[in-house]
């Protein structure tokens, strides 16, 4: 009986590990990411409308208290509830943007790798040209065409984000193409399409996964910058990046108004970044422990 | 003996057995790389015949063109310009489209590479990889699995059904080479090209893999083209040897002839450089110098700067392949065609 008692604890840990395949304390990271995603889905529903949007000049710039956990901003709006409500705009649009331009990047890199010398040359020059567009200026153009909104910011960022992914991934794919197992598969009569889908892409994905996860935090910050110049999320909405940039002017008197959404962005960025690392190990049979 | 016809248009440039049907017939294969204006001739008019079940070794130093020749039979490098003809099973491989070549590779001609460590996709299970050639040919999963299991068992992978679910990093070098061999064999090809299959393995595993290849090729009647620089491997495994030097075939003979009466001075040098357990030599003989760069070959015979028996003609004229006195073919001015002297 004594042995069963001592073995109880590790076995319970193994249960979580066996369904996720993720060892030890690392399990915290996917849990945080899932919580953030849940928050993004239900946040706007649970945050009280009056705290998030209505100005209350009398209680403006109040420091954190039992009434306002993270204080209030210059309009007297509750920072904590604005963070909860803004999770959707920040997180889901960041995930959408990064996923969107990653997919475009994968497609372009695949075409460049499969197409042979000339196609590769032409595609990569197009990528160079696309890289030359500054995201903010491009977003201003999109906003002029479609009207300023979060949606046009998302479109603009997808359109300016893909060239970097395409460039990085094409380099990785070229390296993967030169691996012996790719040559071996070719020698065994595997067609180019199948070679790409089953050998080259999966073996190039680790780099993309890390880039995807690392881009999430960066994208939230750029979204904030866009709303600062009036292109992204429009004033009353509580988007994290917008909250940070709008609180810039009062940072000396009410640091919490900028600091709290900044921490929210940091937690998100770190969680997704580490998730990328964990997934990279998870999908590599040689690295994952059994 | 029809040796008086020197300038016959169909001059034989390879040892072939007229009684057997040929499986692979390479004729005047010339391989060029680089730009069209300044081409780099990697292989010059290479010819070779193989019958079903034949086991031929292609030996030479690094850079002699042996691997390039093997790869070009499979047309693996789209950047190389190939001329001549490669008849396999009644069709000229050089005239096929890339799509038709995909049907040849792996299905009719198998190939085994040097490095078993890198030759397996780290993200796919052993089973999936062994099955892949069958799956791309449209064989259903259950049937492919059954055949993969049987070929792995044939190659001595114990507990094949379980090990098919393992990943490459869980296999040792020798085991991986068996898996690579299984991948090449599963579609039942009639020819296997083995490009230095044992070079990356330690000696004990080398011996195991060679014994296995020997057994399997005998049982299946499989023709094997073995690319190697290891003459020990050659002696134990093949029937016939072609020696390449600087992009040209300079010597071809049966294993017995080559080892007992080597014709070409280069072959003689290669054999002297092999340490032998039954001879006491004060120090190992080497061939002085290094093979020339393909863009900078000497005039005449490419071997002449390193050849102890070279004379004036060697520095002026490239020797053609001619029948050697002890049998086989040799490209050396020491052996003028019988008719030319008279």
Please tell me the distance from the alpha carbon of residue B174 to that of residue B209, in angstroms, as a whole number. 7
CA atoms within 13 A on the CB side of A269: 16
A185 touches chain B (CB under 8 A): yes
| Residue A206 pLDDT class (50, 70, 90 cuts) | confident
Residue B294's domain spans which residues? 264-342
Question: Over the stretch A161-195, which tens digit does the pLDDT of each residue have?
Answer: 899 999 999 999 999 988 889 988 888 888 888 88
Residues of B in contact with A202 (CB under 8 A): 121, 123
Domain annotation covers residue A75: no
More reliable by pLDDT, B244 or A69: B244
Handedness of CA A55, A56, A58, A62 (dihedral sign): negative
A118 touches chain B (CB under 8 A): no
Query: Is pLDDT of B342 > 50?
Result: no
Q: What is the mean pLDDT of residues B119-144?
A: 90
Domain annotation covers residue A247: yes
φ/ψ (deg, to 5) at B105? -60, 130
B138 touches chain A (CB under 8 A): no
Domain annotation covers residue A210: yes
Q: What percent of chain B has pLDDT over 70?
A: 92
From A179, A185, A203, residue closest to B132, measured CB to CB: A185
| Structural domain count, chain B | 1
Domain annotation covers residue B276: yes
| Residue B15 pLDDT class (50, 70, 90 cuts) | low
Domain annotation covers residue A170: yes
Domain annotation covers residue A188: yes
Question: Over the stretch B159-193, which tens digit does the pLDDT of each residue have?
Answer: 888 899 999 888 888 888 889 989 988 988 999 99
From A181, A202, A283, residue closest to B119, measured CB to CB: A181
Domain annotation covers residue B274: yes
CATH number for A131 = 1.10.3720.10
| B106/A189 CB distance under 8 A | yes
Please tell me the distance from the alpha carbon of residue B49 to that of residue B16, in angstroms, as a whole number. 6
| B132/A285 CB distance under 8 A | no
In this predicted structure, which of A26-35, A60-69, A117-126, B261-270 has the lowest mean pLDDT?
A60-69
A191 touches chain B (CB under 8 A): yes
Domain annotation covers residue A274: yes
In this predicted structure, which of B86-95, B140-149, B230-239 has the lowest mean pLDDT?
B230-239
Please tell me the distance from the alpha carbon of residue B114 to that of residue B176, in angstroms, as a whole number. 11
Question: Over the stretch A144-169, which tens digit does the pLDDT of each residue have?
Answer: 888 888 888 888 889 888 999 999 99
Please tell me the distance from the alpha carbon of residue B59 to that of residue B71, in angstroms, as a whole number. 15
Q: What is the ipTM of this complex?
A: 0.77
Query: Is pLDDT of A65 > 70?
Result: yes
- At B252 the pLDDT is 92
Please tell me the distance from the alpha carbon of residue B74 to that of residue B336, in angstroms, as a whole number. 35
Domain annotation covers residue B340: yes
From A116, A188, A198, residue closest to B133, measured CB to CB: A188
Domain annotation covers residue B204: no
Query: For testing the chain B interface, which of A115, A116, A181 should be mutated: the one with the most B CBs within 10 Å?
Result: A181
Domain annotation covers residue A155: yes
Range with the largest mean pLDDT of A144-158, B135-149, B267-281: B135-149
Query: Is pLDDT of B65 > 60?
Result: yes
Mean pLDDT of chain A: 81
More reliable by pLDDT, A90 or A170: A170
A181 touches chain B (CB under 8 A): yes
B71, B77 in Cβ contact below 8 A?
yes
Domain annotation covers residue B270: yes
Question: Over the stretch B286-315, which tens digit does the pLDDT of each residue have?
Answer: 787 888 888 888 888 889 888 888 888 888
Q: Which of B199, B172, B174, B176 lies closest to B129, judged by CA?
A: B176
Strands B240-245 and B248-254: antiparallel
From A179, A187, A202, residue closest to B118, measured CB to CB: A179
B124 touches chain A (CB under 8 A): yes
Domain annotation covers residue B181: no
* Interacting residues of B229 by C-beta distance below 8 A, sequence separation 6+: B59, B60, B61, B62, B66, B196, B199
Residue A223's domain spans which residues? 37-48+80-282
φ/ψ (deg, to 5) at B241? -130, 135
Domain annotation covers residue B319: yes
Domain annotation covers residue A214: yes
Query: Is pLDDT of B242 > 90?
Result: yes
Query: Is pLDDT of A7 > 50?
Result: no
Domain annotation covers residue B126: no
CB pairs under 8 A between A and B: 83
Range with the largest mean pLDDT of A252-261, B77-86, B205-214, B232-241: B77-86
| Structural domain count, chain A | 1
């Amino acid at each position: 009986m004594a042995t069963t008692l001592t073995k109880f604890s590790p076995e319970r840990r193994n249960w979580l590990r066996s369904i996720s395949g993720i060892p030890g304390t690392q399990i915290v990271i996917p849990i945080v990411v899932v919580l953030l995603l849940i928050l993004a889905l239900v946040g706007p529903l649970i945050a009280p409308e009056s705290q998030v949007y209505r100005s209350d000049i009398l209680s403006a710039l109040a420091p954190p208290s039992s009434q306002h956990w993270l204080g209030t901003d210059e309009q007297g709006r509750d920072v904590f509830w604005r963070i909860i409500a803004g999770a959707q705009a920040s997180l889901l649009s960041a995930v959408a943007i990064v996923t969107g331009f990653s997919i475009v990047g994968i497609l372009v890199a695949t075409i460049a790798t499969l197409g042979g010398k000339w196609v590769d040359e032409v595609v990569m020059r197009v990528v160079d040209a696309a890289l030359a567009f500054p995201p903010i200026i491009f977003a201003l153009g999109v906003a002029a065409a479609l009207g300023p909104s979060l949606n046009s910011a998302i479109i603009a960022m997808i359109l300016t984000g893909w060239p970097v992914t395409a460039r990085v991934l094409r380099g990785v794919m070229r390296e993967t193409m030169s691996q012996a197992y790719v040559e071996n598969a070719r020698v065994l009569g595997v067609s180019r399409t199948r070679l790409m889908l089953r050998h080259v892409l999966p073996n190039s994905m680790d780099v993309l996964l890390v880039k995807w996860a690392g881009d999430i935090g960066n994208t939230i910050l750029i979204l904030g910058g866009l709303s600062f110049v009036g292109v992204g999320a429009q004033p009353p909405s509580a988007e994290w990046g917008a909250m940070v940039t709008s609180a810039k002017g009062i940072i000396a008197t009410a640091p919490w108004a900028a600091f709290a959404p900044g921490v929210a962005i940091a937690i998100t960025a770190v969680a997704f970044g580490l998730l990328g690392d964990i997934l990279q190990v998870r999908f590599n049979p040689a690295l994952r422990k059994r | 003996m029809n040796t008086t016809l020197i300038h016959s248009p169909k001059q034989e440039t390879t040892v072939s057995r007229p009684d057997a049907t040929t499986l692979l017939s390479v004729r005047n294969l010339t391989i060029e790389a680089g730009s069209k204006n300044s081409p780099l001739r990697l292989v010059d008019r290479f010819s070779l015949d193989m019958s079903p079940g034949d086991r031929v070794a292609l030996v030479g130093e690094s850079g002699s063109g042996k691997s390039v020749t093997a790869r070009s039979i499979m047309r693996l490098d789209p950047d190389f310009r190939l001329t001549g003809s490669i008849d396999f099973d009644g069709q000229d491989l050089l005239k096929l489209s890339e799509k038709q070549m995909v049907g040849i590779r792996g299905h009719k001609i198998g190939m085994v590479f040097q490095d078993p460590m890198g030759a397996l996709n780290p993200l796919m299970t052993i089973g999936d990889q062994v099955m892949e050639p069958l799956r791309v040919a449209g064989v259903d999963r259950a049937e492919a699995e059954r055949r993969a299991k049987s070929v792995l068992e044939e190659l001595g992978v114990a507990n094949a059904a379980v090990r098919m679910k393992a990943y490459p990093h869980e296999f040792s070098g020798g085991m991986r080479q068996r898996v690579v061999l299984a991948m090449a064999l599963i579609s039942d090809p009639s020819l296997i090209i083995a490009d230095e299959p044992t070079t990356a393995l330690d000696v004990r595993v080398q011996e195991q893999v060679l014994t296995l290849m020997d057994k399997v090729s005998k049982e299946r009647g499989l023709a094997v083209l073995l690319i190697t620089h290891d003459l020990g491997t050659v002696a134990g495994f093949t029937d016939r040897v072609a020696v390449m030097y600087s992009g040209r075939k300079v010597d071809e003979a049966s294993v017995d002839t080559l080892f007992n009466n080597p014709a070409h001075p280069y072959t003689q040098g290669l054999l002297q450089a092999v340490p032998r357990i039954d001879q006491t030599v004060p120090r190992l003989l080497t061939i002085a110098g290094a093979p020339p760069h393909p863009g900078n070959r000497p005039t005449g015979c490419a071997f002449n700067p390193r050849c102890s028996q070279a004379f004036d003609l060697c520095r002026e004229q490239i020797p053609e392949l001619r029948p050697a006195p002890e049998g086989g073919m040799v490209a050396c001015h020491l052996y003028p065609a019988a008719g030319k002297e008279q």
